[in-house]
Chain A
Amino acid sequence: MSAVQRLRSNIGAVCALAIIVALISLALVGPLFNPNNIESLDWAHVAAEPGLIGAHWFGTDRLGRDLFARTLEGTRVSLAVGLAASAISLGVGIIYGAVAGYVGGRTDHLMMRFIEVLSGLPLIFFVIFLTVIFGRSQYLLFLTIGAVGWLTMARIVRGQTLSIRQREFIEAAVASGAGSARIIFKHVIPNLLGPVIVYATLTVPQIILFESFLSFLGLGVQEPHSSLGTLIAEGAGEMEAAPWILVVPGSFLALLLLCMNILGDGLRDALDVKER
């Protein structure tokens, strides 16, 4: 049975994938059907309840901005941060970990100590520091989160590489005259993809959560743009008077994270093949 077939037979993972796809397409095409945009203030309906009044399907916030439009934008931004930062951490982490694991010896030792030093730095301090120096921007957010996210990936990849390096086909590749770079990129890294994909699907929700946390603290995405985190922060202030301002983006975030975690688990089961 192939990995795809195994994934298909996992109903939970298929549902999770369907919901993720639905959420992403909603975030992408939803604004086309919405007469309201993220910035316009509707003074007639401030903190309106969800309903059909003024086409504010999810209600409005305390400035009268349409919550549907803002939540969709927040979802887009959160996903973009999650994917971009994961891609950075994936790229850096795989290469760093594979080189450390394959070369071994003193190089490995130094590379891993460097990771330990970095992971010893307080993350929040690191992010605040960079934001203060470079100013706030979405791209900086991708970079900073990616820059701290690759540490765990590098460790995982190194561990896998250490075990792959012992396999006989690596020795055969060395004996056939392949250089270290060729072996790392052609014979080692493709063999790591199983565990890496699984870890990556679990990294995306982690990073989204971290971005939300930063935005909640006011370090992330800035007005008038929104991410799920800023929306939740806003909603938390109005929790008693207008709970929907918190509930709508909160449930989007919760649903997204839940589905991504279930999908990640499903992928791990599907790709974790004992005999290959």
Chain B
Amino acid sequence: MLLMSRSGRLTPALAVEKLGVQFPQPTGTIFAVREASLSVQAAECVGIVGESGSGKTQIFMAAMGLLAAAARTDGSVRFEGREILGSPPAELNRIRGSKLTMVFQDPMTSLTPHLRIGTQLAEVLVSHSQMSWHDAERAALRILERVRVPEPRRRLRQYPHELSGGMRQRVMIGMSLLCEPSLLIADEPTTALDMTVQAHIIDLFRAMREESRMAIVLISHDLGVVAGLADRIIVMYGGRVVESGRARHILQRAEHPYTAELLKCVPDLKGPRLDRMPSLAGQAPSPSSIERGWAFAPRCPRADARCRVERPLLREFPAAAHQVACHFPLSS
């Protein structure tokens, strides 16, 4: 991957290397992300999966410069080859919202309540591409049509509270597409919506992928959401990447015991009916603790004494393009 980026032909859209995110607290530092490395190629859809607190969101908050003021970071985040970790807001504002955009989890609270939909959409274009308000409103109308908002002309004049949750999420997605971004980060874009609306939003993402050549990062705790969309899946645990590979391989032949456990938790409509919802035994590791041995060892059915003292490094197994951090991958 490094070689390819040096050749200059295939610079990844986003390259995160050995990123660490810490939050110093009076009671001790919280390590939200530890030495996480990942990359997103142009026009690729990457799913990031992990439990709450696994650090999946914090990686991209760091990339967008949205971390809380107290946060400390180390490592590197490059967007289209340029280092963006810790750049001043004025510099970040040139790319975020235009080349690098983000859709948040809760569409009910992500739109400014007192501004009309049309104003909020047009504002992005006016500030990023110096468009006139008139042109920007026309572009806003087109984008609402593109994200399949019914009666787009009327919506432009409406306020956020007059729209349903699914509609607002479409508006948010539309807003993130306005400037033709090269990377769209969607942070649990369907979690706050109900099931049928979720399906529509996922369909919309699929359509957006086919229509444009942007890269998408889909952050979710739900493998089911990611499964249908992602080319590659990255699994995170305790602030670290534990497995990454082609979506098909991860879903069918997961190597990491944690991924396998996560897959068991996805309800299967065709399978036999279970009396209990399957769930992962044990608790997610505390991000404030100093790591001793491998954080997943206490919950892992395959762990032995070695895992308790030595943290496995991310290595290519069983083939290139598939990485796993485990001493005893499932197919070994």
- The chain A residues found within 8 Å of chain B, CB to CB, are 104-105, 167-169, 171-180, 182, 186-187, 190-191, 276
* Nearest-neighbor residue (CB-CB) of A169 within chain B: B112
Q: List chain B residues, Cβ under 8 A from A175.
A: 64, 66, 96-97, 101-102, 104
Identify the stretch in B122-130, B241-249, B310-318 within 8 Å (CB) of chain A at 4 or more residues: B122-130
Q: List chain A residues, Cβ under 8 A from B65.
A: 174
Rounded to whole angstroms, the CA-CA distance of A186 and B106 in the bound complex is 21
Minimum Cβ distance to chain A for residue B302 (Å): 40
Contact in complex: B109, A167 (CB < 8 Å)? yes
Identify the stretch in B36-44, B86-94, B275-283 within 8 Å (CB) of chain A at 4 or more residues: B86-94
Minimum Cβ distance to chain A for residue B94 (Å): 7
Q: Does B111 contact A (CB under 8 A)?
A: yes
Give per-residue flags for B103-122: 1 if the beta carbon is below 8 A from chain A beta carbons, else 0: 01010011111110000000
Minimum Cβ distance to chain B for residue A185 (Å): 12
Q: Does B303 contact A (CB under 8 A)?
A: no
Given contacts A177-B93, A177-B97, A178-B93, contact A169 B161 (CB under 8 A): no
Contact in complex: A168, B69 (CB < 8 Å)? no
Q: List chain B residues, Cβ under 8 A from A105.
A: 69
* Nearest-neighbor residue (CB-CB) of A175 within chain B: B102
Rounded to whole angstroms, the CA-CA distance of A187 and B92 in the bound complex is 19
Rounded to whole angstroms, the CA-CA distance of A171 and B64 in the bound complex is 11
Rounded to whole angstroms, the CA-CA distance of A175 and B65 in the bound complex is 8
Rounded to whole angstroms, the CA-CA distance of A186 and B126 in the bound complex is 14
Give per-residue flags for B151-177: 1 if the beta carbon is below 8 A from chain A beta carbons, else 0: 000000000010000000000100110
Q: Does B98 contact A (CB under 8 A)?
A: yes
Contact in complex: A169, B69 (CB < 8 Å)? no
Q: Does B208 contact A (CB under 8 A)?
A: no
CB < 8 Å neighbour of B110 from A169, A178, A186, A191: A169
Rounded to whole angstroms, the CA-CA distance of A171 and B127 in the bound complex is 17
Contact in complex: B104, A168 (CB < 8 Å)? yes
Contact in complex: A191, B114 (CB < 8 Å)? yes
Contact in complex: B113, A169 (CB < 8 Å)? yes
Q: List chain B residues, Cβ under 8 A from A104.
A: 69
Give per-residue flags for B72-103: 1 if the beta carbon is below 8 A from chain A beta carbons, else 0: 00000000000000000110111111100110
Contact in complex: B104, A178 (CB < 8 Å)? no
Contact in complex: A172, B93 (CB < 8 Å)? no
Contact in complex: A176, B66 (CB < 8 Å)? no
* Nearest-neighbor residue (CB-CB) of B64 within chain A: A175
In the complex, number of A-B residue pairs with CB atoms less than 8 Å apart: 70
Can you give 25 A-B contacts (C-beta < 8 A)? Answer: A104-B69, A105-B69, A167-B109, A168-B104, A168-B106, A169-B112, A169-B113, A171-B66, A172-B102, A172-B172, A174-B65, A174-B96, A175-B101, A175-B102, A175-B104, A176-B97, A177-B95, A177-B124, A177-B128, A178-B93, A182-B127, A186-B112, A187-B115, A191-B113, A191-B114
Contact in complex: A186, B93 (CB < 8 Å)? no
Give per-residue flags for B22-33: 1 if the beta carbon is below 8 A from chain A beta carbons, else 0: 000000000000
Q: List chain A residues, Cβ under 8 A from B112.
A: 169, 172-173, 186-187, 191
Contact in complex: B109, A169 (CB < 8 Å)? yes
Contact in complex: B104, A171 (CB < 8 Å)? yes
Rounded to whole angstroms, the CA-CA distance of A276 and B124 in the bound complex is 23
CB < 8 Å neighbour of A174 from B66, B95, B101, B106: B66
Q: Pick the 8 closest A-B CB pairs, nearest first.
A: A177-B97, A176-B97, A168-B109, A172-B110, A177-B93, A175-B102, A177-B96, A169-B112
Q: List chain B residues, Cβ under 8 A from A173.
A: 112
Rounded to whole angstroms, the CA-CA distance of A13 and B225 in the bound complex is 53
* Nearest-neighbor residue (CB-CB) of A178 within chain B: B127
Contact in complex: A177, B104 (CB < 8 Å)? no
* Nearest-neighbor residue (CB-CB) of B124 within chain A: A176
* Nearest-neighbor residue (CB-CB) of B114 within chain A: A190
Q: List chain A residues, Cβ under 8 A from B175.
A: 176
Q: List chain A residues, Cβ under 8 A from B93.
A: 177-179
Minimum Cβ distance to chain A for residue B115 (Å): 7
Rounded to whole angstroms, the CA-CA distance of A105 and B70 in the bound complex is 10
Minimum Cβ distance to chain B for residue A243 (Å): 51
Minimum Cβ distance to chain A for residue B230 (Å): 22
* Nearest-neighbor residue (CB-CB) of A168 within chain B: B109
Contact in complex: B102, A177 (CB < 8 Å)? no
Chain B stretch 216-262: residues in CB contact (< 8 A) with chain A: none
Q: List chain A residues, Cβ under 8 A from B94.
A: 177
Q: List chain A residues, Cβ under 8 A from B127.
A: 177-179, 182
Minimum Cβ distance to chain B for residue A189 (Å): 10
Rounded to whole angstroms, the CA-CA distance of A58 and B109 in the bound complex is 58
Rounded to whole angstroms, the CA-CA distance of A171 and B128 in the bound complex is 17
Given contacts A167-B109, A169-B112, A191-B114, contact A178 B123 (CB under 8 A): yes
